[in-house]
Homo-oligomer: A and B are copies of this chain.
């Protein structure tokens, strides 16, 4: 169904508050879900909310913990997320580390035991708007096979990269897999075959059958380089945070496993000059298709966000029914108390 952003965000906030999440934290968590919807990344949007509510209900996620901060140096913050809400823990950690980056030129925060962050690009974009270059990394469940391999042993290990610029920052947000497992599930639901090269089945054979791919693995993007990047980012996060790796990672796609992945942010303040002029030069450069100008990472998401603010967003009927039904259940439970 079609709804506007504020209506959907308000529903998400009420559901979170009824699950015991304090108001300001509910706003942060709900915003991350709605930003993903608005930017056209529904895999990181409201569909994650029912699972999160189950995790809050069964005690796997904490509604109130915001992370235990330990400064290893004036520019290195180590955070134990205490199974708090991903965006709440991450935003508090970033707020603490921004002044350190501004003062020292660079600062890092590493986070463990934290729930799913949502769109990693959100954080990189926010940092870039504050004038800081940002690299963001997070590890995830093993769904991806190595280049030359056939076992799901790598996370989709995304990288976010933000660079301040006028009029708009560059914001890259990319998984290191060719596609997401969400896309495989979507194809399976709709009965549409995958493209060759996207996935392997459980025996490690190439498949275009999305049902077979669900039990198999997805390919890294860009061949050996994309594989190397995904593995390298994952190993770096593991080395710096001590988080779980490979097949031992859980907690962002299930209801009841503690989240044991790692998150890493590197913030740097610029000694150089704005990249805005260069990015504009790239945007103005000769396109392959005269009707489609060259885009800079973040341009598309920004434009989709503006459209969503103006025109609203489309939520699958089933998901909307599930969320409103959850609210009815919460209300009854509250009345019964």
| Docked-complex contact A172 and B238, CB < 8 angstroms | no
User: CB-nearest residue of chain B relative to A220?
Assistant: B222
In the assembled complex, the Cα of A266 lies from the Cα of B165 at a distance in Å of 21
Contacts A150-B287, A170-B231, A222-B225; is A238 near B108 (CB within 8 Å)?
no
Q: A149, A153, A245 — which one has the most chain B CB atoms within 10 A of its CB?
A: A149
Kindly state whether residue A243 has any CB partner on chain B within 8 Å: yes
| Docked-complex contact B146 and A294, CB < 8 angstroms | yes
Contacts A172-B232, A238-B278; is A150 near B286 (CB within 8 Å)?
yes
Q: List the 4 closest pairs (A to B, CB-CB), nearest first.
A: A222-B222, A76-B105, A242-B272, A235-B275
| Docked-complex contact A148 and B225, CB < 8 angstroms | no
Interface size on A, residues (CB 8 A): 78
Kindly state whether residue A32 has any CB partner on chain B within 8 Å: no
27 contacts across the A-B interface (CB closer than 8 A): A73-B103, A73-B106, A76-B106, A110-B271, A135-B135, A146-B282, A148-B289, A149-B285, A149-B287, A150-B287, A151-B286, A153-B281, A161-B232, A161-B233, A163-B239, A165-B239, A174-B225, A174-B229, A221-B222, A222-B225, A231-B296, A234-B278, A235-B275, A235-B278, A240-B270, A241-B272, A262-B272
In the assembled complex, the Cα of A228 lies from the Cα of B278 at a distance in Å of 14
In the assembled complex, the Cα of A229 lies from the Cα of B146 at a distance in Å of 20
As a 0/1 sequence over residues 229 to 267 of chain A, the CB contacts with chain B under 8 angstroms (1 = contact) are: 101111111111111011000000000000000100010
In the assembled complex, the Cα of A231 lies from the Cα of B246 at a distance in Å of 29
In the assembled complex, the Cα of A323 lies from the Cα of B268 at a distance in Å of 43
CB of A303 to closest CB in B, whole Å: 15
Interface residues of A (CB under 8 A from B): 72-76, 78, 103-108, 110, 133, 135, 145-146, 148-151, 153-154, 159, 161, 163-165, 170, 172, 174, 176, 204, 221-223, 225-226, 228-229, 231-243, 245-246, 262, 266, 268, 270-275, 278-279, 281-282, 285-289, 292, 294-297
Q: Note all chain B residues with C-beta closer than 8 A to A287.
A: 148-150
In the assembled complex, the Cα of A159 lies from the Cα of B285 at a distance in Å of 24
Q: Note all chain B residues with C-beta closer than 8 A to A223.
A: 221-222
In the assembled complex, the Cα of A170 lies from the Cα of B78 at a distance in Å of 23
User: CB-nearest residue of chain B relative to A204?
Assistant: B286
In the assembled complex, the Cα of A103 lies from the Cα of B245 at a distance in Å of 26
| Docked-complex contact A235 and B271, CB < 8 angstroms | no
User: CB-nearest residue of chain B relative to A72?
Assistant: B105
Contacts A222-B223, A225-B174; is A108 near B108 (CB within 8 Å)?
no
